[in-house]
Homo-oligomer: A and B are copies of this chain.
């Protein structure tokens, strides 16, 4: 299997320049002295999550002629997601002038539907079980391109641009903590960081209620968890599981994987809000939860945690802070 390379990620970085925010590293002066901490705030991306990196790279990678033909024929792109990938594809498509159909399950919170429509995408609401089949039907009917949430080299390379920035800004980094769900972000960030900072360790972090990737790495092959089990965690962005493609990357680039509890995730959200004035969604706080509560399982040293996103309901946020 061909893995995404540093060159692929550099190409992606050239393509998405101007489309995604080059997020700064934020210091955390309150952290332990022997393992100083910086945050990579992907929640500050225009759509509030790192997903814009992969989606922008995927849109940019559509060959120009294909894109123009697609627009002329109204084909465009299709994605299915109830989460950050929906808004990411909608915004990237709008920026590239490409029509987008986003398939969302009925019952998706109105705020996410509105957020997706804000970027001019056509939202198609279907029963949860018909989400994928509807997306594939639209691809066929429209002659459109599917933009998958993580299972594609262009997506992995796009997410990897976050790792490229970490390595460029902070070549002396010793530990990078990144959340794992479908594995696109961890695959891309790990590939960039390990290539450019060979002495840095890269650890994945999962909710213990959706620890399928941890199980998979231990077993040496993808271990499936039932959807209902993975759905228990408060970290609603981390309920997917790796594919063969992302799993191959995770095996190659991760030094390990640790898991955290839902209570620890909520505490990390509070710490980000009160100490660094950042709003993280539960999934975005997972790596900091590991920094705070799993130090014994991690190398000590200069640490970067990726705050992957910040799209959280106001009511939930008030509840976590209150």
With most chain B CB atoms within 10 A of its CB, the pick from A27, A91, A317 is A317
With most chain B CB atoms within 10 A of its CB, the pick from A48, A315, A322 is A322
Which of A4-12, A250-258, A274-282 contacts its partner? A274-282
Judge whether A44 is part of the interface by a CB distance below 8 angstroms.
yes
Judge whether A128 is part of the interface by a CB distance below 8 angstroms.
no
**Residues of chain A from 18 to 35 with CB closer than 8 A to chain B in the complex:** 21-24, 26-27, 29-30
How many copies of the polypeptide does the oligomer hold? 2
Judge whether A318 is part of the interface by a CB distance below 8 angstroms.
yes
- A91 proximity list for chain B (CB < 8 A): 29
Q: Which residue of B lies closest to A311 (CB)?
A: B277
CB<8 Å pairs between A and B, sample of 13: A21-B24, A29-B47, A30-B118, A44-B276, A44-B277, A48-B277, A273-B314, A277-B280, A277-B310, A277-B311, A317-B321, A318-B318, A318-B321
Known contacts A29-B119, A274-B314: A24-B44 contact under CB 8 Å: yes
> What is the minimal beta-carbon distance from A52 to any residue of chain B, in angstroms?
11
> What is the minimal beta-carbon distance from A116 to any residue of chain B, in angstroms?
12
Residues in chain A within 8 A of chain B (CB atoms): 21-24, 26-27, 29-30, 41, 43-44, 46-48, 91, 118-119, 270, 273-274, 276-280, 310-311, 314-315, 317-318, 321-322
Contact B314 A29 (CB under 8 A): no
> What is the minimal beta-carbon distance from A282 to any residue of chain B, in angstroms?
13
Q: Which residue of B lies closest to A25 (CB)?
A: B21
